[in-house]
Structure 1
Amino acid sequence: MTRLRFTLAAAFCLSISPAHAAGLKFLHILGGQDAPSIDAAMWSPCSEAPEDVQIRTLTVPASPDCPIAGESLPLVILSHGYGGWYLGHHDTAEALADSGFVVVAINHPHANYADMSRANGLGVLIGRPVDIKRTIDFMLGDFADSAKIDPQRIGFYGFSQGGYTGLVLAGANPDFSKLPPRCAEPKAVGCAQVNQARPPQRPPLPQTLTHDPRIRAMVVADPLSIVFQTAESIRDVAIPVQLWGSELGGGGGASPEDVATLARVLPKKPDVRIVPNAVHLSFMTPCPKIQMSSEVCIDAPGFDRAAFHREFNAEVVAFFRRNLGE
């Protein structure tokens, strides 16, 4: 496993990125009788200069509704963690768009910061990969500029439960029996409420989970990996994987031990990066100063999240370039 060091090589990788300003557009993917609508944010290469766009407490450098610059562009889909949202990794999305990728981050329906009504339980873990598949279907089909996307160059980035989501899409079949019982009840409003009630019976598991062979490479950061601790559960993951882990873990996310086991049992050796002194939430985008006391913004003493993300983003861009083509 590689223990990350800030290097001149990463700085050089950033310096040679094509000079594109990240275009930003908000998308709405219509639902149906059995599928809720999905809200998404899309970043893309853009020939216009960016401006500061205020979105809630965030100031994002972007060119709103800028026409997509380029043809046959690779697509990367982003999946947030528990309670996250589509701007939770916006700096990574911007770095990819500035390097020639179309990037789409979604709010997982009923399991995001604004609506947690179905965020706890097994149902959301089954539904998350479906959300991503529907997003890819939309981007290659009903999306107005679908012709600008190369369907042979699709990647995925996921954090925490988003990392779990990507592994399932890549062919993994999780062992849900490893989940804490209080979180395996699909009708749970929250784990705490279920934990105070009688121990729930585990629901029947689905016969199949949603896999998507259109995804050709993926980056996962501190994925929920307790359900992927055996070679059997992960044997069908054959695409290139860059696996990031925090040295300290915490924050209700993946434990460093579970991430290490996942790295060992993956059938194709992943590109593993362990980040010294990082906690689970250090993979979230650097916080605005007005939010520094928020739990999501607290790092270990001495950890420079902004400096780490500069290297992290460069390495993610380089990985997708290698595996999805220039």
Structure 2
Amino acid sequence: MKLHVWLAGLAALVWCGFAHAATVGFETVSAPVAGDRPLKISIWYPSDAPEVSEPMGLETQAVARGGPIVGRGHPLVVISHGTGGSDTSHWDTAQALARAGFVVAAVAHTGDTYDDRSRALRIIERPKHLSVAIDYMTGAWRGHEAIDAGRIGAFGFSAGGFTVLAAIGGEPDMSKVDRHCAVHPHFYECQMLRMLPRQPTAQTVPAHDPRIRAGVIAAPALGYAFTPQGLAAVKVPVQLWRAEWDTVLPQPYYAEAVRRTLPKPPESHVVPGADHFDFMPACGAAMAKAAPSICGDGVFDRVAFHAAFNAEIVRFFRKTLG
């Protein structure tokens, strides 16, 4: 009941005066990266071609693969997934944005996907992937002329939330991680540190991208690593989400720490009854069987929540990107 009351109130605030795309176009590309493997990017965009249901890993989506891009002046939103995720981890949010007139580019972070964890601890390198995606989408992509390069936002979940926070100006104090894990050895990132070998990286400061004008951050990882000084340069609007019962990144060390530390109060949402992975789409039968730990127990209504969640993200980017 608590969730449904929250959803009803949220839905009542959502502005529905924007034009919807007739269909959603979709394609997957590889963006070149100097000195590294190409970056895989999945792209959703407004189209008018017929949609066809097609497999997407263990899930399916209805899209117009390779369809024409309709319209001009579309804002661009880049998406950063959580650790061990993929470029399609937030496909429903990407589709909602595309239907509302956005072009969406979701990256597969090299070395931190479900099939390759070789760089999972090199989180400081992730923000540069968003810059690579923006460069590609506004330059080399076949539909780049349909994008308004002055209207760019970013969405990130979990490690992706850290990624977006760093990309918009945040500078984490990574020395805090070991101190945190000495006190909380059972927390998720602390278990990762014990399970995975430390991987050397020449990068010590995340890449910031001033082209990103607004950020949506859900359940950000390593929130405690950002001091007031480390977030002082974050000037763009932020929409911040946390799950009431996040068992992976428990409060008050992550989203709540970011909320308290940002120099300008974010638009903040706490989702009643939600757990960490409820920010990912509702699972189909195959996904639920293969990865029950991320699909929930069926008590929390993820379908209803995502209808409101995605609408709020659309509203926020409409407001902040103009």
TM range (shorter): 0.7 to 0.9
1:242-300 CA distances to partner (integer Å, 9 max, x unpaired)?
Answer: 0000111123x36444311211110111000000111111101110023324211014x
Equivalent of residue 315 in structure 1, options 297, 312, 317 = 312
1:147 shift after superposition: 1.3
Q: Pick closer, same or farther for the CA change 1:92–1:14 going to 2, 3 Å.
A: farther
Aligned equivalent of 2:228: 231
Amino acid at match of 1:114: D
1:11 shift after superposition: 6.4
Seq. identity, %: 36
1:98-154 CA distances to partner (integer Å, 9 max, x unpaired)?
Answer: 0000000010011111211121x2xx2121011111111111112122111111000
1:209 shift after superposition: 2.5
Name the CA distance, whole Å, in 2 between partners of 1:249 and 1:68: 38
Asked whether the equivalents of residues 247 and 256 of structure 1 are also in contact (C-alpha less than 8 Å), the reply is no
Asked whether the equivalents of residues 222 and 245 of structure 1 are also in contact (C-alpha less than 8 Å), the reply is yes
Name the CA distance, whole Å, in 2 between partners of 1:275 and 1:166: 20
Name the CA distance, whole Å, in 1 between partners of 2:72 and 2:24: 15
Aligned equivalent of 1:46: 47
1:14 shift after superposition: 7.5
Aligned equivalent of 2:184: none
* RMSD (Å), alpha carbons: 2.8
Aligned equivalent of 1:186: none
1:131-179 CA distances to partner (integer Å, 9 max, x unpaired)?
Answer: 1111111111121221111110000000001010111111111010121
Name the CA distance, whole Å, in 2 between partners of 1:217 and 1:193: 35
Asked whether the equivalents of residues 15 and 315 of structure 2 are also in contact (C-alpha less than 8 Å), the reply is no
Name the CA distance, whole Å, in 2 between partners of 1:320 and 1:105: 16
Aligned equivalent of 1:191: 193
Equivalent of residue 207 in structure 2, options 210, 213, 218 = 210
Equivalent of residue 22 in structure 1, options 21, 24, 31 = 24
Asked whether the equivalents of residues 162 and 223 of structure 2 are also in contact (C-alpha less than 8 Å), the reply is no
Instruction: Tell me the SS of whatever aligns to 1:264.
Output: helix
1:212 shift after superposition: 0.4
Instruction: Tell me the SS of whatever aligns to 2:223.
Output: coil
Q: How does 1:1-326 map to 2 (within 5 A)?
A: 5-7=6-8, 10=11, 13=14, 16-20=17-21, 21-33=23-35, 35-119=36-120, 121=121, 124-180=122-178, 191-193=193-195, 206=203, 208-251=205-248, 253=249, 255-293=251-289, 294-299=292-297, 302-325=299-322
Name the CA distance, whole Å, in 2 between partners of 1:69 and 1:310: 24
Amino acid at match of 2:148: D
Name the CA distance, whole Å, in 2 between partners of 1:321 and 1:245: 21
5+ long unaligned stretches in structure 2: 182-191
Amino acid at match of 1:212: D
Instruction: Tell me the SS of whatever aligns to 2:156.
Output: strand
Asked whether the equivalents of residues 75 and 148 of structure 2 are also in contact (C-alpha less than 8 Å), the reply is yes
Instruction: Tell me the SS of whatever aligns to 2:7.
Output: coil
Name the CA distance, whole Å, in 1 between partners of 2:223 and 2:102: 31
TM (norm. structure 2) is: 0.88
5+ long unaligned stretches in structure 1: 184-189
Asked whether the equivalents of residues 172 and 227 of structure 2 are also in contact (C-alpha less than 8 Å), the reply is no
TM (norm. structure 1) is: 0.87
